[in-house]
Chain A
Amino acid sequence: MTGPLTPMLTALLGRLPIGWLQLVHNKGRLAAALSGVAFANVLIFMQLGFLGALVESIRLPYTVLNGDVLISASDANTLFDGSPLPRNRLYQALGVEGVASATGFYYGRIDWKQPDGTIRIMDLFGIDPTSAPFSDPLLARQAESLMLPDTALMDSKTRNVPGDLFAGIEAGTPYRFETRGREITVTGTFEIGGGFSADGYLVVSDQTFLRLFPARLPGAPNYVLVRLAPGADPAAVLADLRAALPASDSAVWTLDEAAARDQRFQTTQKPVGIVFGFGVVIGVLVGVIIVYQVLSTDVADHIREYATFKAMGYPQRFFLGIVFEEAFILALFGFVPGVLVALGLYAAVAAGTGLPIFMPAGRPVLVFLGTLAMCALSGAIATRRLARANPAELF
């Protein structure tokens, strides 16, 4: 009836696994309890998944850049906001010792109208095609082709676009569309994937960018990407750059720092990050409440048996052991279906939204430890009911 687990648990605990036997005795309640724990786990996994996807989607555009240092406007919080830099900053940066090269790039956002009338929002970078601004192999290989006016490279992971469109471009058929009054010809693709605001990325030359955004001043890019000379000490160059550029309009970061600052800003200052963090808290609360309900009902249902065991001379720690044994079993057996359902949902969400949602190896470990702590906390609250087991009332 209880399978091979009873002898296993008996050996493990050095006593009858009473908690386990109690749980399997009432199969309906056990099923409800395990679904509750699994549900809480799925909730937590999904929130962590979205939070992770947000963090990852912020990081991805930084990873395609070929550089060591990023100079941004001092008022920029992310890659996609902030004022243009004054024209001189690029040249001042080039004058710092240890800087091998520097190239500006522009950021803008455009609408890409689909045949069905809907719009895809594209984050647009304008780069100098001759300055080797990309480390990503696909982009690096195609960057120079952007010297042709009004050509673009497009993110093939852009959300809600028929896949055969990109297949056609990759096969050599350029795709044309109109935006901001100009016809753009897409001659190649790369892969980043949209985040939580825009649907995908588009890369053009700085000349094309300035034609799309005539109000923007040439020589005043949003960012300057700096590459260090071989053998230069990054810390020293960073300090010299900070000294050379006025902090009132410029901020100097390593690429990793810039990505981390961006992630920090979007997860703590923007509602989207806070919402997911809050969701994790709600998931934990749901789990604690469900497990507490199950354990305290179970204690209440067995109060006579526990009183009998007390009369027989079992000490308090024996009863705590039973409750924590149950808490551990609920945590373990609720976690397994929880993580499996979450994996399925991750795949579904990734396919449906193109968000970089996936299961890092550390997350199940973290969630399982959290589930254990959650169940132990519920168990600890539930054990307060044990005081009601009064053996003197058995007679």
Chain B
Amino acid sequence: MGSDMASGSVAIAVRGLDHWFGTGEARKQVLFDIDLEIRHGELVVLMGASGSGKTTLLTLIGCLRRVEAGSVVLLGRELNGASEDDLVACRRDLGFIFQAHNLHESLTALQNVRMGLAVHGDRVAGDWREASRHVLGLVGLSERVDYLPGNLSGGQKQRVAVARALVGNPPVVLADEPTAALDRDSGLAVVEMLRRLGRERGTTTLMVTHDNRILDLADRIVRMEDGRIVEG
């Protein structure tokens, strides 16, 4: 979206990031001096045992938690010290894919996808129907656009969630176990799509996964252990 997004420049830069949970006696450090740089168009897989801090790192980069110590620069904006409004605005440049689909049960597949577009306001509202149908087609759900989530299978719901994350062409996609609810083929298809978006549009993807099937598709693998980056 900006000129700094040419392939090769830095999309996410983390420097000396520390993070704690809890307060007082129970205060416990969960991230230690994290340094991480991800360039535009890269597909980076974040691995590590549960409790290693990878999800916390994802939520800090995703503007869902406040950065307390160290620096996170997302698409050129420093998140440490950013106001709540700034964080909300930053989230609009991100596509989130959660482990659970988190679809709205009262909205059809098409309406759920539209919510991913409508957050950008009237600027893009005009052609929402075309854009939403297109991205639902990319995840193989052209025939299911008017279904409520209750009438879709688990895998189909997860693919609607992927479509919702991608419909606004976010420069950065953050994904937490996106393939957990998918069978092998559709899991691979989703990751291949993210890789293709990286090549074609410079979309940057940071993905937490335990899924060994998709490691081959990653540009880079970052491993975490006990709140520290040990490889990558």
Contacts and interface: CB of A to CB of B under 8 A. Distances in A.
Given A311-B96, A312-B119, A302 B91 contact: no
Nearest to B60: A392
Contacts, number: 71
Contacts of A145: none
A395 B58 contact: yes
B64 interface: yes
Contacts of A309: 115, 119
A21 interface: yes
Contact of A392 (B59, B104, B107): B59
A14 B118 CA distance: 10
A25 interface: yes
Contact of A15 (B92, B105, B106, B118): B118
A310 B104 CA distance: 13
A313 B111 contact: no
B59 A395 contact: yes
A314 interface: yes
A100 interface: no
A16 B111 contact: yes
Nearest to A302: B104
Contacts of A14: 122
B99 interface: yes
B116 interface: yes
Interface size class of A (residues with CB under 8 A): 20 to 34
Interface in B80-116: 85, 88-92, 94, 96, 98-100, 102-107, 111, 114-116
A309 B165 CA distance: 11
A315 interface: yes
A313 B92 CA distance: 5
Contact of A21 (B59, B85, B106): B106
B18 interface: no
Contacts of A24: 106
B92 A16 contact: no
Interface size class of B (residues with CB under 8 A): 20 to 34
Interface string A300-319: 00101101111111110000
A391 B91 CA distance: 11
Contacts of B104: 18, 302, 305, 308
Contact of B106 (A25, A312, A313, A395): A25
A176 B145 CA distance: 83
Interface string A200-214: 000000000000000
A304 B65 CA distance: 17
B62 interface: yes
B42 interface: no
B55 interface: yes
- Which of A25, A313, A391 counts the most B-chain CB atoms under 10 A from its CB? A313
Nearest to A307: B102
A394 interface: yes
A315 B85 CA distance: 8
Nearest to A309: B115
A308 B102 contact: yes
Contacts of B98: 308, 394-395
A307 B96 CA distance: 12
A305 B164 CA distance: 13
Nearest to A6: B111
A16 B129 CA distance: 12
A232 B92 CA distance: 78
B102 A313 contact: no
Contacts of B64: 311, 391-392, 394-395
Contacts of A353: none
Contacts of B119: 309, 312-314
A309 B91 CA distance: 10
- Which of B89, B100, B105, B114 counts the most A-chain CB atoms under 10 A from its CB? B105
A340 B91 CA distance: 48
A313 B115 contact: no
A310 B64 CA distance: 9
Nearest to B90: A313
A22 interface: yes
A383 to B, nearest CB: 17
B102 A16 contact: no
A312 B58 contact: no
A44 B74 CA distance: 56
Interface in A163-178: none
Given A305-B104, A309-B115, A312-B116, 8 more contacts: A21-B111, A308-B104, A310-B88, A312-B115, A313-B91, A313-B94, A315-B85, A395-B99
23 contacts: A18-B107, A21-B107, A25-B106, A304-B102, A305-B104, A308-B104, A309-B115, A311-B64, A311-B91, A312-B96, A312-B116, A313-B89, A313-B92, A313-B94, A314-B119, A391-B64, A392-B59, A394-B64, A394-B102, A395-B58, A395-B64, A395-B98, A395-B176
Interface of B: 55, 58-59, 62, 64-65, 85, 88-92, 94, 96, 98-100, 102-107, 111, 114-116, 118-119, 122, 164, 176
Interface of A: 14-16, 18, 21-22, 24-25, 302, 304-305, 307-315, 391-392, 394-395
In the A-B complex, list the 10 residue pairs whose CB atoms are closest, starting with the nearest: A313-B92, A313-B91, A25-B106, A308-B102, A392-B64, A21-B106, A305-B104, A395-B55, A22-B106, A391-B64
